[in-house]
Amino acid sequence: MLSLRAEAARRLGCEVVPLDPETGYLCELRRGARRLFLLGGFSPLNDAGASRIADDKFFTALALERAGFRVPPGERCLRPGRFLQEDFSSHLGLAPGRELAAAHGYPLVVKPNHGARGRQVTVVAGDGELAAAVEAIWQHDYLALVQPLVPGVDVRLDFLDEDYLFGYLRRPVVLRGDGTSAVRELLARADGRFCGAAFELRLAGDPIWTSAAARRGLDFGSVLAAGEVLDLGSPILNLNRLCVAERLDRPAPAWLDHGRRIGRLFGLRHYGVDFKAESPDADPDAATVLEVNSSPSLAQMALMGHHEEAMAAETRVVAAILDSV
């Protein structure tokens, strides 16, 4: 993300000075008398309060629901021992998640209350998996969210000062064998991002891979028979894990108005909204808002063949950042 933003800054005539060359995570932009620090992909256009609320998935859902937007029902499971004074006993431990399971049944989605890129977001099919997923999240986050699965397609819309910036539909990865190509070759053909030792190492530990491929005894060198299908689809679609996307050039005006209302609600200038909907042509009022992102990244879309479109959007963001200094 920072490399995309740095390239946009250079196109705007800025000098980009890395302050942490080992990671490249912190840099300084210089243009004339203006000086600005950039930290990773975090957007400095949003004030701290708006960003903090958007970063809290549970509070975001509460605010959206109160404003009349559709959100998934959910329960929070607080890590025991996190709070020393306040009494939040009704939300402690696994009991809230189990109550949701009793009301809605399995499968359920378990996710950290904070974080991005689909990290530790898991689909669970029973009480044992629920307990394991929640306890894994407690190692890094004091609050795990448990929600029912929401059907539909994944729609993402990004905005800058109420102007439509970028959007896409996330799609699952489905491989079809030809009798000669290894799975790693089929993955690389599906998307140029899906190749290399680092990718294979990361994917090997992803539940999407283990549930679809490893349980069938398949590995990256396996050859699928002609017509044989390996469905790597998942209800959890994130471009930083394993899915592809189709760019949305001109979403319907109703969808754009819907997204702008969410930005106004939280007072965000630069933000993205994730929806689940029957289709991108459906009534957006019937769509479910999954999350609001206060620092949307276009890095993956740039790698998927939309580099110039992503750069155009990122250049607008950097220009707005510079103007705000």
Q: What is the pLDDT of residue 25?
A: 84
Q: Distance between CA 92 and CA 79 in Å, rounded?
A: 6
CA 186 from chain center: how many Å? 24
Q: What is the pLDDT of residue 89?
A: 67
When pLDDT is averaged across residues 29-57 and rounded to a whole number, the result is 88
| ∠ Cα 291 280 243 (to 5°) | 60
The C-alpha R_g of the chain, in whole angstroms, comes to 21
Least trusted range by pLDDT, from 20-34, 38-52, 79-93: 79-93
Using the predicted structure, report yes or no on whether residue 34 has a pLDDT greater than 80. Answer: yes
Counting residues of the chain whose pLDDT is more than 70, the rounded percentage is 96
Using the predicted structure, report yes or no on whether residue 191 has a pLDDT greater than 90. Answer: yes
The tens digit of pLDDT for each residue in 219-268 reads: 999 999 999 999 998 878 888 888 999 999 999 999 999 999 999 999 99
* pLDDT interval class at 169 (50, 70, 90): very high
The tens digit of pLDDT for each residue in 85-128 reads: 556 666 778 999 999 999 999 999 999 998 776 677 888 999 99
Using the predicted structure, report yes or no on whether residue 53 has a pLDDT greater than 80. Answer: yes
* pLDDT interval class at 84 (50, 70, 90): low
Helices 253-266 and 57-66, axial angle in degrees (round to 10): 110
Comparing C-alpha atoms, which of 153, 147, 228, 223 is closest to residue 182? 223
Sign of the CA dihedral running 142, 202, 154, 7? positive
Q: Distance between CA 320 and CA 325 in Å, rounded?
A: 9
Q: What are phi and psi of 265, to 5 degrees?
A: -55, -40
Q: Distance between CA 77 and CA 92 in Å, rounded?
A: 6
**Between β-strands 143-148 and 108-112, what pairing exists: parallel, antiparallel or unpaired?**
antiparallel
**Token pair in block for residue 160:** 């800058």
Helices (H) and strands (E) in the chain, counts: 11, 14
**Which residues make Cβ contacts (< 8 Å) with residue 109, sequence separation at least 6?**
72, 121, 122, 123, 124, 145, 146, 147, 148, 149, 235, 236
Contact between residue 79 and residue 134 where contact means Cβ atoms under 8 Å apart: no
Burial class (CB in 10 A: 0-12, 13-18, 19+), 125: exposed
* Confidence (pTM): 0.90
When pLDDT is averaged across residues 136-154 and rounded to a whole number, the result is 92
When pLDDT is averaged across residues 133-149 and rounded to a whole number, the result is 92
Using the predicted structure, report yes or no on whether residue 298 has a pLDDT greater than 60. Answer: yes
Q: What are phi and psi of 186, to 5 degrees?
A: -65, -40
